[in-house]
């Protein structure tokens, strides 16, 4: 068993935020300088890796063999994954995007949204966007699901822990809105509400990933897979930002149904120790 005292959530988020915000705000500054279109890219890496690097550092220095074994098992053991869970993992986001696009037609959005995108909606200099999407899903979930959420769950029930985490996860993205040419920067230039929608959309996504992760006995691989599918589904079709606002509403509905159907999971008492 892993005692609750092993986890230090305040320290984890303070370090993660410090590394990410310093490196990403530096990237934002450089992105507006002459020739900075590529100069800022190396400064994205520390912030991207920060959740995992911080989690790994805290796990290793915890002197808890149980915490180390738990991390290794959740990352490498495929037996944690329930085959039946693969259906919702593979269908929730594609279905959400398609339903949202159909609803958007009622608000005057074009049928061309159902066409495959000709390319990615943003660029990161010379780095292939697909690589960025893969690395983002991997390094984020390696940190969030190996340490961050558990550290909150030992003091709060799973619902409250996920909600707190969702708000912190949304805030973690803030510097990206200031990086010239980055996705978050592009949408906020279109309309500030689109930027707000991105931040709000993180909340239901956090609940859905939390559910899938717990459903598969804490598997980090599942969290990485679903996070990557979220990223890819946002880029696969020519959906508009209006549709993405509708999509946020659909995701909230899905998350609400998940919580209602899994009240024992989300509202059980905080764990004094984790197996």
Residue 34 within a domain: yes
Strand partners, 127: 124
CA gap 245, 262 in Å, rounded: 26
Residue 64 within a domain: yes
pLDDT digits (tens, 9 = 90+) for 12-22: 999 999 999 99
Residue 168 within a domain: yes
Residue 19 within a domain: yes
User: Does pLDDT of 98 surpass 90?
Assistant: yes
Residue 163 within a domain: yes
pLDDT at 15: 98
Least confident of 24-28, 63-67, 184-188: 63-67
Element (H, E) at 137: helix 129-143
- Containing domain of residue 95, as a range? 7-274
Contacts of 169 (CB under 8 A, 6+ apart): 144, 202, 206
The 8-class DSSP code of residue 128 comes to -
Among 6, 4, 9, 268, which residue's Cα sits nearest to residue 160? Answer: 268
Mean pLDDT of the chain: 92
Buried b (16+ CB within 10 A) or exposed e, 188-207: beeeeebbebbbbbbbbbbb
Total of domains in the chain: 1
User: Does pLDDT of 25 surpass 60?
Assistant: yes
pLDDT at 38: 78
Residue 135 within a domain: yes
CA gap 97, 247 in Å, rounded: 6
How are beta strands 273-274 and 2-3 bridged, if at all?
antiparallel
pLDDT at 1: 62
Token pair of 154 as six digits: 């030992």
CA gap 64, 150 in Å, rounded: 14
Burial of 209 (0-12, 13-18, 19+ CB in 10 A): buried
Residue 243 within a domain: yes
Q: Per the confidence metrics, is the pTM higher than 0.85? A: yes
CA gap 251, 253 in Å, rounded: 5
With tokens 């003091």, the residue in question is 155
CA gap 141, 216 in Å, rounded: 14
Q: Identify the band that residue 271 occupies on the pLDDT scale cut at 50, 70 and 90.
A: low
| Percent of the chain surpassing pLDDT 70 | 95
Which of helix, strand or coil describes residue 274?
A: strand
Residue 67 within a domain: yes
First-to-last alpha carbon distance for the chain, in angstroms, is 5
pLDDT at 125: 65
Strand partners, 274: 2
pLDDT digits (tens, 9 = 90+) for 213-263: 999 999 999 999 999 999 999 998 999 999 999 999 999 999 999 999 999
pLDDT at 55: 97
The whole-number average pLDDT for the span 34-57 is: 90
44 within 8 A of 21, measured Cβ to Cβ: no
pLDDT at 131: 87
pLDDT at 273: 47
pLDDT digits (tens, 9 = 90+) for 166-199: 999 999 999 999 999 888 999 999 999 999 999 9
User: Does pLDDT of 81 surpass 90?
Assistant: yes
CA gap 65, 71 in Å, rounded: 10
| Percent of the chain surpassing pLDDT 90 | 80
Q: Which sequence positions are flagged as catalytic?
A: 140, 173
260 within 8 A of 207, measured Cβ to Cβ: no
């Amino acid at each position: 068993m892993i005692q609750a005292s092993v986890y230090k959530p305040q320290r984890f988020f303070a370090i993660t935020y410090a590394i990410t915000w310093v490196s990403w705000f530096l990237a934002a500054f450089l992105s507006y300088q002459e020739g900075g279109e590529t100069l800022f890219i190396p400064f994205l890496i520390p912030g991207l890796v920060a959740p995992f690097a911080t989690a790994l550092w805290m796990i290793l220095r915890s002197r808890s063999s149980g915490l180390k074994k738990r991390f290794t098992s959740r990352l490498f053991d495929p037996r944690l994954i329930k085959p039946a869970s693969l259906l919702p993992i593979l269908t929730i986001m594609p279905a959400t995007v398609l339903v949202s696009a159909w609803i958007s037609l009622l608000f005057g959005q074009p049928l061309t949204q159902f066409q495959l995108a000709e390319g990615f909606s943003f660029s990161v200099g010379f780095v292939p966007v697909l690589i960025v999407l893969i690395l983002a899903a991997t390094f984020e979930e390696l940190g969030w699901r190996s340490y961050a959420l558990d550290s909150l769950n030992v003091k709060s029930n799973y619902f409250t822990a996920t909600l707190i985490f969702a708000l912190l996860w949304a805030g973690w993205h803030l510097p990206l809105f200031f990086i010239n040419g980055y996705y978050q920067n592009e949408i906020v230039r279109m309309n500030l509400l689109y930027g707000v929608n991105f931040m709000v959309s993180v909340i239901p996504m956090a609940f859905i990933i939390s559910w899938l992760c717990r459903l598969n006995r804490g598997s980090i691989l599942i969290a990485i897979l679903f996070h990557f599918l979220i990223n890819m589904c946002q880029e696969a079709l020519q959906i508009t930002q209006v549709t993405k606002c509708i999509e946020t509403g659909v995701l909230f509905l899905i998350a609400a149904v998940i919580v209602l159907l899994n009240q024992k999971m989300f509202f059980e008492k905080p764990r004094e120790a984790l197996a």
